[in-house]
Structure 1
Amino acid sequence: MAGKTSIGRMVYHHPWVCEHFDRRVWIDGSKFSSFDVMWVIKEFAGWIAGAPCEDIWLSYDRFGRSDRYFLIIDDFVIGLDEQDKLNQLEHFLLLVGEPGSIVMFIVDDDLDGSSYLCSRHGFLRYKIDTISKDNWVKLLMRHALSHPDQARVEEERMLDSFVHRIHDPIDLYPVLAKMFGSIFRYTETSRWQEEIDSLCRTEQIEHNQHFNLMFLHYLSPIIARSCLYQLLIPQDYISGYADLLHVLVAEGIPHKENMDIPPSVEWINNALGRFYFRMRVGRDSTIPQQCLHLHLLVDSRTSAFPTSLSAKVNNKLRTLSLHREEEMVLKQQPCQITDISATMFANLIHLRILHLGATRIQQLPHTVGKLLNLRYLNLSKSEIQVLPVSLCNLGNLRVLNLAWCEKLWRLPRRIHNLRSLQIMKLAFCARLQRLPKSITGLANLQELDLEGCHDLIELPENFHNLRKLTYLNIIKCRSLTRMTDELEQMHNLQMLFGYPINTISSIKDVISELQSLRGLEKLDLLNLQIVSKLKDASTPPMLLQDVLPKLKHLALHWKWDNMNDVEKASDVTSLQVLEGLQPNIYLSKLEIISYAGKEFPIWMNDVALFLYNLREIRLVNLRRCERLPQLGELVNLKIVEISGMDLITVATFHIRYPGRIIMLDKLIFSEMPQLEKWEEPGEGNVEWYIEELTLMQCPKFKIWEFYPIVRKLNIWLNNEMLWRCQSVVWQRLISRIDELTIVGCQELMCLPQVIRSNRWVIQLTIIRCNKLISIPDWLVEIGSLKSLFISGCTELSYIPPQLKTRSDLLLQHSGCPKLRF
């Protein structure tokens, strides 16, 4: 058990464990790269029988259910795609031993992909962090040598030398000991010193071929595949990580909704680089025969897929993903591919992931029905009009993305044959008038996105038969005026976006209609102005918190045709409606859009009592409100957007208590025409740390009354007074930022001098500043600058020559016709 933490041994040898369990078994899988369930069962049976066991059922007959056991399974990586093996093990273990038997998995902390183990009854999971140097060395020796006890002096000396040289740059995780040990095991002893020298050059270790191979050998399959798809699936400022998350769903890889996906570490990227192929599309492009995952980069001239994709020598592909050039994405230009060869789909029968977004394809060949292994199909932003009937043969398809297919007018009638479908995105399919009746037969459908389907008239009869549906988005479905009683019967709904209020008589009725949806965690309410216009609207006997106790996200929308309607709205009635919509105290996200009242109800004024858990708030187009809620009392707050509040001249979060530390991920002030300053009156110092601050169309804003620390600053549109500001606070703020983005600031002819004070900025982005003539020479003095991106600056004609020749600077530009290099 060398290399294990003391906690693992303490549990195994603890007196209570020894007394409570009749049998204790420790199975070590450190020499195995995959989870072999039969070997584990035989080892378990052998420990029980006290001798090697080939017939497990003979052992079962002897052992039966007479004893309670404690089993530790150590050093196995069990991926999600191996859960069938885990099910076999669980089935066997349930047949043996008394109730109260325990199975404990010990996994490495840094490469753990088995978090789902905790959900199984009787299974425990324990993570190993770093271990002591002595144990790390023993584990390294055990993996480097076939017989560690018989190691030669020279071998021990070289390994000891390696450990001393590698110790400081790396953390002593068990998995690294195994990786390095395996490298030496598969390297001739005469070449060990050469390998040691290579591995100890830490700046190059991620490029070491042997290290990369061993890294993948021990990497969790879940983590490896997640990172591979992160490299393959396009992420941009429009879709973000949405497509990637859907691919993970299609492949059965667990993830949390809205999770932050960090960039893959360089080690993983380099290790995975040999397992996918990147190429720019050309008709005669050749693809390696062994290629499994293909990343196709297309430009505005690309008009067809490579013919080699139709050749049988290239029929092993599992993933095919189109990527547009960055400028095409920014300009929202589709690629010019208009059709797909029928032989291409007939050939690529092993495809699992197919991402063909933003093409001009109008129809799919009937051979799409041959892609029986396909799990993910993305045709978003294409010109597809109808889908072939053969598409319904894809019984393994789990995700179908047709978002922004504005010419699509019909879905196949037999769509219910997509029996594995879990997610269907039809957002902004504007010509779609009806969904086929058979859609109610999609027994596994969990997510249906219909946002922006303007012509959709009604939901199909028996829509409530979608028993597993948890997510429904019907925002901007303006023709969907008649909401049947179907929704009231969908008790499993957790997220409902765009619930329209059409003929409701009072706020009491709004809340009453929602009583049957007690499981809702996210809710968007539309057309609240209809309730607001009613003279008899009064405080209801029950509040929204009474009928939706699990609600975590709430968005409230009023809709007004013009500003005159807002002014005519009853302030008292608006306030009463908002009072009735008081959520529970567990709410984490709140959006209030176009509320016509002048005051906030009690639950928004006393936020520390009623909204204690709030993490995100958006207040948009509250034209008649003159002040903000006391947001400074919300200790969990991370994201704040204040937009379109015309009457606010001074912004304050009303922080009562001195010595507070305010840490925000995002803060946005947008469309604030009268905002002049941001102040926090009160006694004592308050420390502000803001990861990303955005100032958009705040033409009068120029004063800070405190010193916030901002990492990323975005300045959009007209902020003329800010650029002229000479305040010490403004200069201090901008001198410490890491990233600066300037978008659409038409008042700028040259970069402001205040930027010159920054000696730490790493990234500078300038987009659509049409009066910008030149980049100043003093920008060369900022040695920390590593990335300069300029786009759509039509008058820009000069960039300092020194910037063009700096080897440590990534300089990119597009859409600047007067710029000459």
Structure 2
Amino acid sequence: MRRQVFGNSEELERVIRIAVNDVENVIELKMHEYNLLKHCSRVGLPRQPLCDDLLPLVEKIDFVKRKMMRFVTLNEDLPSRDYLLGHSSSRRVASLNLENVVVGLEDDLLKVMRRLTGPPSSREIVSILGMGGIGKTTLAKKVYHHPEVRNRFDVHIWITISQEYQTRDLLLGILACIFQLKNEVQNETYRLAVGDEIKESSDDQLMDMIHKKLKYRRYLVIMDDIWSKGIWDLMTRIFPDDNNGSRIILTSRHKEVAEHADPDSNPHEMSLLNSDNSWKLLHDKVFGSQHDVCPCELEKIGKQVAQKCQGLPLALLVVAGHLSKISRTRECWDDVAKTISKIVSSEPDKCLGVLAMSYSYLPHHLKACFLSIGVFPEDFVIATERLIQLWVAEGFLRHERLKSMEQVGKECLEDLISRNLILVRKRRFNGELITCGVHDLVRDLILRQGEKEKFLKVTRTHDVITRFIDTASKPHVHRYSSHSRISQGDCWNSTSSLTRTLYLFNGLKHALRPSKQIPFLARFKLLRVLAILHYTFQDFPLEITKLVHLRYLEFNCHDDLQCSVSELYNLQNLIFRRHSDLPVEIWKMKLLRHLEVKKISSFPVPSSTYTTGSSSKLQNLEVLSDLSISCCSNEMFTRTPNLKRLKLHGAWEECRRDTISQTLNSLYCLTELEILKIKCSRKLYPHPLPSKYVLPNSLMRLTLRCTYLPWEDMANIVTLPNLQVLKIKDNGFDGDAWRLSDEEIFNQLKFLLIDRTNLKRWKAGSVNFPKLQHLVLKRCIYLEEIPKDIGEIYTLESIELLNCRTSAAKSVKEIQEEQESMGNDCLSVRIHDKPCKIQTISNDCLLISFCFVRKQNSYNPPNPSFVT
């Protein structure tokens, strides 16, 4: 007789989630039905009460509730099944002999050894961080068994925590390590007496015993595979700090655990192997490290195989094990190169199972955020802004007081990064995340787990789609993503009417009759996210306007946006990739938060007689792009009071001097505006006159391109109290001289970019830029020199010159030399004079890149290149 109703907590969670989804489906289907009836010409159509539809589901939920209570009662005193089976990520990795891997760990080993054997004398925590399978435990073992370490410490303790642990077992494991001391092992009577004492001791007594045994001894403790802050809080009190150089090493996938253990210590973060070390590891495991017998015809394809493992030792070992079992022919190795993903997936317990530990430990809302990344194609560089918009639209994020949904989304994303599940691709100079991605092995885990939980279905070729139609179309898959161009009929057959997300990355094949498009979109009554890329509808698809649950819409058509788009009253994100006039009905879309059109040439403001059922304001609109300058007015911006990001463009005939000044003045009422970009088409007047205008004080980032403002106009910008980033591109400012007085101070400016300008002379000093961190000058072919006082800015971290005069480069060298003569040796210079694709304009112009890096107060992004 089974004591458990459900096999484990994962199965219980899945049953509860299905029940909740069923209820949500019924409610939203009823909402869709009511919306259609509201627009129907016939009156008095019969409606089935919602309670009648929900009654069977309420009974189902009650049944699940009773079973759940029974499950909790029967299992509250039992250790988890995973623990009883000895399931731990460390054991799984050990089965691959990862402890024998030394390739690529030499530098890591040296750095950790220095921290163990060097200062300080107080007890120090050394955290080793990295994704599953990257070699954290391997590195810890190399340190643990190193002769220098064995001789330095009196006591050596190794305990593996893992996700599931028993406190008493951990304490007994520590005592077992302690009693390996020679003078105590030799005394059998003492050992037996201690054994009897341990059996009768409580956990608190065991902790006290450990503390006494370690007192005044120099010890090394390895806490391998630690997952939570709670276990650290429990264990740290048993390790005394006697100022004798004791050390504790933590290995974890979670950065927050390391920061909690010791906020003042920098964790040692492990990196993926480079291409050379990847090939060396693969080669050594297949052919043996002592014999270089790899045939020449296999070396090239072997390096390709290693490259596809993307530097993860765990994946390399799995593939190496497979290569060791097959014939050493080019044909066989070619097949391996084409099926790396399948080979890795064929060892679920050894490879994907290790990464699955990270997934199973995620909070429920982070599981959904993590799995949703599977909609993107392999090696896709994911814009974090788009990803967070999808999370908001799907309802994955939890509302928090005093935080916007974007802030919550960024915190969730950083949480996943700190757990080493998501890779950082690019950050801004201040550490803000721009793009991210996932390792291919992690993506395989996402696709496998997403399909298992009926969370997500991804198809990549037409053959895969066909099989899915035949075998898997009956289950309700809530999210569907296609990475190949498919027909509307395929999309109809391969998705469920209950699908909530439809992402078509390569668009649709043209219908047989383009004039009569198949209304395949009408069947997706519960759709929340619809993105159709690389496809253009001939006419505006009216069936989209019936999808009343849509929150995110991205598509394209040859028509302008139609007034009926306002029927999507739940829409939050509208992305339209073509020029368009906007209908006045847009003002009815009260939940709209992000409106992006390639170019908005007309955006009419409703008149005072225009009624929308409420005030004609877009209170929730935060992002607006790309609006024509001619549309800007005080009346419009007072109706969008919460704009945070605004992008403006101006055609040749619109960019008159008085028009630009008037536009800039109209922005003052946008008290929440943080990012402003203005791009005009061409220069109209060779000598624009300075004018006075006021920009919003909330502005943090400003980009001006082809606006040809006089440098004297900078007086209007220098007063902005929160401005941190200023970019001047393609003669955003015009004139050959920029002179700043001592009273003109950019109090918060951290990043300054000047790209392609006719500036010749620049007079400024450290007083003008007290907090500047990065200065970038590109294609400033007329600039003679950089002000010498720039070097006096204490916060300055880098200066970059690209395609500038040699005299300007010389002035930068002089700044560096002057700083060195004053004892400022933390300023380093790097010069790159590689050939530039941009044709130089004169012999006095060349490509030079300087980087001054102050070692203190500097941010080092994972990717050495940063953008703003």
TM-score (norm 1): 0.50
Q: RCO higher in 1 or 2 (8 Å CA, sep ≥ 6)?
A: 2
TM-score (norm 2): 0.47
Q: Which structure dedicates a bigger proportion of its chain to helix?
A: 2
